[in-house]
Structure 1
Amino acid sequence: MKTWFITGTSSGLGRLLTEKLLNQGHRVAATLRKPEVLNDLKAKYGDKLWIAQLDVSNTQSVKDVVDKAFADLGQIDVVVNNAGYALFCAAEEASDDQIIQQINTNVIGSIQVTRAALPHLRAQGEGRILQVSSAGGQTTYPNFSYYHASKWAIEGFCETLAQEVSPFNIGITIVEPGAHKTDFGGSMVTAPVLDAYDKTPAGYVRRLVDSGTFPLTGDPDKTVQAMIDCINTTPAPLRMALGKDAYTDIRASLVSRLAELDAQKELALSSIV
């Protein structure tokens, strides 16, 4: 059995992962902004569940909570960056504060949790970090520009980090779920709509989401179990695309980007000094 540290455990994949791990006998350090949300699990699992209040956009709080979790629990085997913020609007529609919150939560928050955990993981000589990204960390959809900006950014960070920490027996896995049947859609933050975008791809996607017809094909239970199972895979897989749409859309994006690059080969090589 292992000990997991998970951010954003109040709902969605974070809550489900916490429940499944506890049910399988693991120990969980769960962090969230409203700790009372997990009172039912604490009553059921007792000392198996360690809970702390945490807003990942508060860097000092991140350091304090991560340090306390390692001090209280000893070895932590797996750190899961799951806390997230989803801004759903056209790029022109968002407020400055919304943009900052998107980056502070999904990028800086994840980076600071990772930075706080790394000295402890190095000291114990092993560990895994799971970074919950999205299919939107490799492909894009209209109306999610700032969400994509955060996911593409954290994937670049994690891919680099994996090279830096592999000598310390620390594995990094970027988890890329597609659209899942969780409360993700209901938790998305929106902005005042500009009529100019009504008949654009942004307007089309907005109407799909608003009408409830945006396809949600991912099975949260299977995705969470895949996250648990990947810990037993060595070396750690750098990426895991989870869901039919994740595989299809990421593949299409990569194929398109490669075709564009190959078409520019002559131009690229012409710039050699």
Structure 2
Amino acid sequence: MKTWLITGTSSGLGHRLTAKLLAQGDRVAATVRKPEALDQLKKQYGDQLWVGTLDVTDTPAIKQVVNQAFTELGKIDVVVNNAGYALFCAVEEASDEQIRHQIDTNIIGSIQVIRAALPHLRAQGGGRILQLSSAGGQTTYPNFSYYHTTKWAMEGFCDTLAQEVAPLNIGVTLVEPGAHGTSFGTGMVTAPVMDAYDATPAGDVRRAIAQGTFPIKGDVERSVQAMIECVDQKPAPLRLALGGDAYRDVRASLVARLEALDAQKDLALASEMAD
């Protein structure tokens, strides 16, 4: 039996993960903005489920809730940083407030959850951190610029974090799902549309999602099971791509970037100072 701390469990992958873990006998400390979202699971599993109210844009609250969860439950084996959402619009369409909230939730909130958990993980001799990223943490799609900003930022943060905490027996895994049939799509925040972008790739993607022609083939249950199983892998995998689209799109992006880098090899080397 393991004990998990999971943020953003009211819906989507976070809720499915929580339900699956409880069903297999694990304990879960689940955080939500509205605790009633977990009433049914709480009724079914009782003390096996610990519920904390948390908005991850509130840093003092993050510290309080994470500290409380570790204090009341003792050892927590796995911390899953899942809370987040996507701002879906062209770069020019977003408001300053929307940009700030996207960053505060997906970057600052995620970082502060990890920072709050690290002293406890060190004190107990180790643990695992699963950071929900996205295929969009290594590749890009029109209309998701601000979402990509946050996921690419967390990729760099966790890549560095993993190197720092590996000697402390703390493993870090970036979970990179492709498109899955969860409530993620309905939870996307939009902005007023500008006609100037209608005949651009941004408009094409907007129409594909609105018309339901954007392919969604990710199997939520299989992906959740892969997340659960990865915590037993040693060493912890740094990245976990989930879905054929995640594999194909990330691979294509990496290959294109490598080819572009190799094309500049002579220029890069010529820019060094001579010995």
Give the alignment's Cα RMSD to 1 decimal.
Answer: 0.4
Counterpart in the other structure of 2:47: 47
In 1: Cα distance, 2:109 partner to 2:242 partner: 23
Q: Identify unmatched segments of 5+ residues in structure 1.
A: none
Q: How many residues align?
A: 273
Report SS of the residue matched to 2:129.
Answer: strand
Question: By how many angstroms is 1:90 displaced?
Answer: 0.1
Identity %: 72
Counterpart in the other structure of 1:116: 116
Question: By how many angstroms is 1:141 displaced?
Answer: 0.1
Matches within 5 A, 1:92-171: 92-171=92-171
Question: By how many angstroms is 1:6 displaced?
Answer: 0.2
- Cα deviation digits, residues 121-143 of structure 1 (max 9, x gap): 00000100000000000000000
Is 1:91 aligned with 2:62?
no
Is 1:194 aligned with 2:194?
yes
In 1: Cα distance, 2:187 partner to 2:215 partner: 17
Residue identity in the other structure for 1:40: Q
Matches within 5 A, 1:1-273: 1-273=1-273
In 1: Cα distance, 2:5 partner to 2:53 partner: 13
Question: By how many angstroms is 1:213 displaced?
Answer: 1.1
Question: By how many angstroms is 1:186 displaced?
Answer: 0.4
Report SS of the residue matched to 1:187.
Answer: coil
Residue identity in the other structure for 1:182: T
In 1: Cα distance, 2:185 partner to 2:42 partner: 27
Q: Give yes or no for contact 2:85–2:184 (8 Å, CA) kept in 1.
A: no
In 1: Cα distance, 2:212 partner to 2:272 partner: 51
Report SS of the residue matched to 1:272.
Answer: coil
- Cα deviation digits, residues 199-248 of structure 1 (max 9, x gap): 00000000001111110010010000000000110000000000000000
In 2: Cα distance, 1:78 partner to 1:48 partner: 15
In 1: Cα distance, 2:185 partner to 2:41 partner: 24
In 2: Cα distance, 1:87 partner to 1:212 partner: 18
Question: By how many angstroms is 1:120 displaced?
Answer: 0.2
Q: Identify unmatched segments of 5+ residues in structure 2.
A: none
In 2: Cα distance, 1:266 partner to 1:58 partner: 48
Residue identity in the other structure for 1:265: K
Report SS of the residue matched to 1:52.
Answer: strand
Question: By how many angstroms is 1:155 displaced?
Answer: 0.6
Residue identity in the other structure for 1:15: H
Q: Normalising by structure 1, what TM-score? A: 1.00
In 2: Cα distance, 1:223 partner to 1:55 partner: 25
In 1: Cα distance, 2:21 partner to 2:86 partner: 25
Q: Give yes or no for contact 2:88–2:147 (8 Å, CA) kept in 1.
A: yes
In 2: Cα distance, 1:25 partner to 1:179 partner: 29
Q: Give yes or no for contact 2:18–2:28 (8 Å, CA) kept in 1.
A: yes
Q: Normalising by structure 2, what TM-score? A: 0.99
User: Which ranges of 4 or more aligned residues in structure 1 deviate by more than 4 Å?
Assistant: none
- Cα deviation digits, residues 55-103 of structure 1 (max 9, x gap): 0010000000000000000000000000002100000000001000110
